[in-house]
Amino acid sequence: MKKYIFSRVVQGILTVFFIATATFFAMHLVPGDPLMDAKAMTPEIRANLEAKYGLDQPVLVQYTTFMKNMILGDFGISFTQKNRSVNDIISEHFPVSAVLGVLAILYAALGGILWGALTAKYRNKWPDHVIMVLVILGISVPNFVVAAVSQWGTVNINKLAGISILPVAGWGEFSNMILPAMALGLSTMAYLTRLMRNSMLDVGNSDYIRTAKAKGLKPSRIFVQHELRNSVLPLITILGPAIAAITTGGFVVEKIFAIPGLGRYFVQAVQQLDYTVIMGLTVFYGAFLVFMVIAVDVIYGLIDPRIRLAK
């Protein structure tokens, strides 16, 4: 197991290293340079600015400086926002995205387990059919549509009710988080429901359930202690991709609900071609996603001995 974790972490570091390198050279492939747009720049000012940002150095020197700073955790200073470092941006806005993401995952997981268990319990009866249709819808409707339509619906409900039942934009209160978290978690919930249903059906056919029934255990106890607990395990495998989906989904949801999260900043930086912010956030997001996936795999191995033995 230790060897497995070690090799995965090494692989992860290599991946992040590759992401950082690709990011750096992608930025340098772009025709022109970040200072090109500035107006009325004399050669002296330009030289000064280049020296300040280290742009007068050869590419390889810039690359080593960039990598050294990355390892030390320094992502540089934004080009478009004066005197604002990328580290500041991350430390200020990442917690917002993280809270939203955790809420969305919790909502998706609880909903997925509940609906999945329900469909498996009522297999081929109407609750199963209704929920599975909703699941396919949930997978097929893009999250920006879900977010926008839920916002529009809530505005109209608020209008009809005459009071603000749920705020439709902004951040701060818990009530602000409900709609975005639900919009963000919906497609993951749909996937989890489908997975949970399959998993419940698999577990339902297994020997230990038959043994439990033969022993004469109460059906409720079999359901909770044997079926539910064992069915939830495989859901952890989807957690890695789910975190990635929710992180990227956050870009859109944060934009629609006017949430000051990191995703919105990232999109904004790309639209403004703020090079240091793009580089910094790309490496940050890359490292975050890669290590999240590894963490999920390792945790799964720790929880489920069958996986550990297979490795």
Partner 1 sequence: MMEIELNQKQTISTPRSAPAMSDNNKTNDNLDSFFKPAVKEDESLHGLSRPSLSYWQDAWIRLKKDKKAITSLVLVSFILAFSLLGPFVWTVDPNEQNLNMISQGPSFGSDALIANREMLGELVVDESIPEEPLEEVSPLEATESIEVLGKASTVGVHLKWQPVPGAYNYTIYRNEIQPNNISELGVPLFTTEYANELSYIDSLQLEAIPYWYSIVATDGIDEAMTYKTIEVTPELAYSLDQARAINPDYNIGDSISIGAHPFGTDQLGRDVMARLMTGGRISFFIGFFAPLLYILFGTLYGGIAGFIGGRVDGWMMRFSDFVVALPFLLFMILSYIAFGAGPGESGIVPMMATMVALLWPATARLVRGQVLQLREEGFTQAAQLLGASSWYILLRHMIPNTIGVILVTLTFAIPSAIFTEAFLSFIGMGVAPPNASWGVMSNEGIATMLNTPHELIFPAIFISLTVLSFNLLGDGLRDALDARMRSRE
The nearest distance, CB 109 to partner 1, in angstroms, is 22
> 85 by DSSP, 3-state: which?
strand
Position 124 contacts partner 1 (CB under 8 A): no
Contact 115, 131 (CB under 8 A): yes
159: number of Cβ within 10 Å? 10
**Both structure tokens of 310:** 């297979």
CB of 184 to partner 1, least distance (A): 13
Look up residue 181 and give its amino acid.
A
**For residues 1-20, which are near partner 1 according to CB under 8 A?**
11-12, 14-15, 18-19
Residue 63 or 217: the one with the smaller Cβ distance to partner 1 is 63
Subset of residues 209 to 228 that bind partner 1, contact rule: CB under 8 A: none
Interface stretch with partner 1, choices 57-65, 121-129, 230-238, 271-279 (CB under 8 A): 271-279
| Interaction residues for partner 1, span 226-255 (CB under 8 A) | 244, 248, 251-252, 255
By the rule CB under 8 A, 170 interacts with partner 1: no
Out of 173, 215, 271, 309, the only residue in the binding site for partner 1 (CB under 8 A) is 271
205 counts as binding partner 1 under rule CB under 8 A = no
Beta bridge partners of 85: 77
| Binding footprint of partner 1, residue count (CB under 8 A) | 46
Residue type, 87: N
How far apart are CB 267 and partner 1 at their closest, in Å?
A: 5
Minimum distance, C-beta of residue 148 to partner 1, in the bound complex (Å): 5
| 3-state SS assignment for residue 274 | coil
Among 38, 71, 149, 303, binds partner 1 (CB under 8 A): 149
Query: What SS3 state is found at 17?
Result: helix
259 vs 275: CA distance, rounded Å: 23
Kindly tell me which residue out of 71, 152, 170, 175 binds partner 1, with binding defined by CB under 8 A: 152
Cβ-defined contacts of 84-89 (< 8 Å, 24+):
86/276, 86/277, 86/280, 86/281, 87/280, 89/262, 89/265, 89/277, 89/280, 89/281
- For residue 256, the minimal CB distance to partner 1 (Å) is 6
User: Per rule CB under 8 A, is residue 29 in the interface with partner 1?
Assistant: yes
22 near partner 1, rule: CB under 8 A:
yes
Residue 115 to residue 113: CA distance in whole angstroms: 6
DSSP character string of 236-271: HHHHHHHHHHHHHHHHHHHHHTT---HHHHHHHHHH
Residues that bind partner 1 (CB under 8 A): 11-12, 14-15, 18-19, 22-23, 25-27, 29-31, 136-137, 139-145, 148-149, 151-152, 155, 244, 248, 251-252, 255-256, 267, 270-273, 278, 282, 285-286, 289-290, 293
